[in-house]
Chains A and B, each alone.
Chain A
Amino acid sequence: MKLLQKTIRSYFIYSVIILLIAVPVFYYVIQGIVREDIDEDLLNTKELLKPKISDALRNNSIDQLKFLDHDITVSVTSASKEFDTLTTVEIFDTIAKELVPHRLLTSYFTVNGKPCMLQVKTSLVDNDDLIASIVKVQVILLILLMTGLFIINRNLSKKIWMPFYITLQKLQNYKVEKHAPLSLPKSSITEFNDLNTSLQELTDRTHQSFVSQKEFSENASHEMQTPLAVFQSKLELLMQTTPLTEEQALLMGDMADVAQRMARLNKSLVLLTKIENSQFADKENVSIKVYIEKFILLYQPQINEKQITVDNKIVENEILHANAALIEILINNLIGNAIRHNIVGGSIGIKLHRDRLIIENTGKAYPLDKEKIFQRFQKESTDNNSIGLGLEMVKKVCNINNYIITYDFVNKQHCFTIVFNNSTIEMQSSLVN
C-alpha cells in the first residue's frame, strides 16, 4: 500500500464512522428537544384553560364549553385522582386520510370539587418534517466538510511528501558504477533535508568504496601479470635443465598446467574489470551472425574432437548497435561454454530469430542452479579449464546493453536465451545478407 493511500484510508474510515454515529445521535437529540418543547407547550395550555373550565363549571355550562380548537376536549369524570399523562398516539386524520402522530396530554384534575379530564393534543407532523430537514441539512454539511478536509489533506500530503518521492525516484535511478551526483532538492521540512544529506553522504561513500574496490581488482589483476610472466618463464627454463627425473618432469608439467590456469584466470579478471569499468564504450553496428559463424569456424577442431553436431539456424540476422568487442566476448563465451560443457557426440543448437538468440546444448543430465549460474566462480564442472568467469562476463555484457539473458533446462538441453532490447535493434538484415 502506498504511503498516501495509507493515511487517506485512515481518514476515510474515521469520517464514515463519525457520520454513521453522528446522524442518528443528532436525530434523536433534536427530536428530544422538540418533544420537551411541545410538552411544555401542552402543559402551559392546560394551565391557561383551568380558569375557563372553572368558570364553566360554576355556570354549569361545561357541556356548552366548546373551543374553536378541535384539539381540546373537556369532560367530567368520576375519577378523583389528579395526574397528567403525556403520550404519543397515532390519530386518523380525516383530511389527509392517514394516521398522523400526535402528542396527547391527558390531565385529570378537580375544579371546584368536581373531577375533570382535559385532553390537549398537537400534531407532530410539522415538527417531524422540521427535524428531518434539519438532519438532512446537517448531513449534507457534514459530508461537505469531510470531503473538503479529505481533499485538502490529500493535496497537502502530496505536497509535503513530494520531496520524499523525488528522493525516492532519484535513488531508484542511482547506479553506483555511474555515480551521477544525486542532486536532491532542498525541502522546507527538516527531516527531509536530513534524509537527503544522509543519502548524499551514503551514496558518496558507496561510490568511493566501489571505486577503490574496482581500482584494487584492476591493479591486482594487472600487477599479477608480471610475476606470472616471470614464473612461467622460469618454469620453462627449468624444463630445459638436464638431467630431469620422470618425477620432476611430471611435477613441472603439472606446474605448467596450473601456471596456464592462473594466466587464463588473470586474463579473464582483467577483461572483466575492463567490462565493469565500461572501457568498451564505442558503439557500432554489429552483426551477430558474423560472430556466431566466426566462432563456430574457429572452434571447429574442438567441435570435431568431441563429435558435436552443430545445428545453426539463423532465421533473421540481427544488427545490434553495440560495442563489437563486447558482443564478441558474449558470443565467444556462450559458444565456448556450449562446447566445453558438452558431452562426446552431443549437439549444439543455435537459433537467431528477430530479437532473440537461443543457444542450447547437451551436457549434464540435470538442470543447473538458475540463481547461481551467472555468479562468478560458480563452477558446475570439475573441468580445470573452466575458470568460472565466463557467464559472469556474459551477464555483464547483457546488463550493459540491457539484454535479458535466461537459462532453462528443456528436453535435457541447457538453453540460454538472450532477448536483445527491442529499442536498439535495427532490422537491417537485408543490408548484411
Chain B
Amino acid sequence: MKLLIIEDEKELSKSIVAYLKQESYLCETSADFVTAMNKTESFDYDCILLDISLPDGNGLNVLKELKANNKTDGVIIISAKNSIDDRIAGLNLGADDYLAKPFHLSELSARIAAVIRRRRFDGNKIIVLNEITIDTVAKMVAIHHAELDLTCKEYDLLLYLVSNKNRVISKNAIAESISGEGADLYDNFDFIYAHIKNLKKKLTAAGCEDYIKSIYGMGYKFTI
C-alpha cells in the first residue's frame, strides 16, 4: 500500500508516518504544493492525505488535477478549516473523506483503512484476523466462521480497534469515534467501558481469544 502525505507541518506528517508504520504502508511525504503535484502526476497512491492550506497553493487544486487525469487515488482531506463549505467543496471534488484538525491518529488510521478497503477492486473487502472475520460490506462479524451478533456500535468499535491493531487507542479517541460530537455530554468514560465489556463478552463467548487489552490510565489496545 502506498500513501502520500501532503502536509506542510513537518512534525504532523512525521507523526502520521510513525503511527502508520505499523501497517504495511509505504509512506511518502510532501510539504508543498509543487512537489505534491509532481508526485501525484508521476505515481499512483492508494491513499493521499491532503492538507488544503499549503504555503504555495490550495490543496484542492491537487484534488482537481487528480480528477482531471482520471486518477483513482483515494483522498482524505485533512484541514484546519473545519467549515461545512470546505467539507462539501472537498467531497464534491471527489475526496473520499474529510478530517478536521486536530484529529486522533487512530481515527486517521481507521479512515485510511476504510478508504483503502473501498478502493480495492479485487473484491477483498473482508478482514481476517486469526479466528475473526469481518465483512466490511455486509457489516458482519464471524468467529470461527460462526456469525456473531453485534450491535451497530459494537461493530464500529471492533472495526476501529482492528484498524489500529497493536496500538494503544486513547479513551478520548474511542469516545469520539463512538459518539462523535456528543462525546462531551457524558460525565465520564464509563460508557466506553460498558461497550468494550459487552464486546469482549460476546467475542469470548463465541470462542474468540481475548485480544482487547485495557491499558491502565490511557485506553485500549487490540493485540494480535
Contacts and interface: CB of A to CB of B under 8 A. Distances in A.
Interface of A: 222, 225-226, 228-237, 239-240, 246, 249-254, 256-257, 259-260, 263-264, 266-267, 270, 274, 279, 298-299, 301-302, 305-306, 325, 332, 336, 339-340, 383, 385-386
Nearest to A339: B185
Given A232-B104, A232-B105, 4 more contacts: A233-B102, A239-B170, A270-B82, A385-B186
Contacts of B82: 267, 270
Nearest to B175: A260
A233 B84 contact: no
Contacts of A257: 172
A240 B11 contact: no
A332 B184 CA distance: 12
Contact of B172 (A228, A256, A325): A256
Chain B interface size, under 10 / 10 to 19 / 20 to 34 / 35 or more? 35 or more
Contact of B104 (A236, A246, A279, A383): A236
Given A225-B102, A233-B16, A301 B217 contact: no
B216 interface: yes
B215 interface: yes
Contact of A260 (B172, B185, B191): B172
30 contacts: A222-B81, A226-B12, A229-B103, A232-B103, A232-B105, A233-B16, A233-B19, A233-B105, A235-B170, A236-B19, A236-B104, A236-B105, A237-B15, A239-B215, A240-B167, A246-B216, A250-B218, A252-B218, A256-B170, A266-B102, A267-B100, A274-B83, A299-B182, A299-B185, A305-B191, A325-B84, A332-B181, A336-B185, A339-B185, A385-B184
Interface in B57-113: 80-84, 100-106
Q: Most B CB atoms within 10 A — which of A229, A250, A254, A339?
A: A229
B170 A228 contact: no
Contacts, number: 123
Interface in B176-224: 176, 179-182, 184-187, 190-191, 215-219
Contact of B216 (A235, A249, A266, A298): A249
B23 interface: no
B85 to A, nearest CB: 9
Interface string B161-176: 0000001101111001
Q: Most A CB atoms within 10 A — which of B18, B100, B104?
A: B104
Nearest to B215: A249
Given A236-B170, A253-B219, A274-B83, A301 B179 contact: yes
Nearest to B15: A233
B100 to A, nearest CB: 8
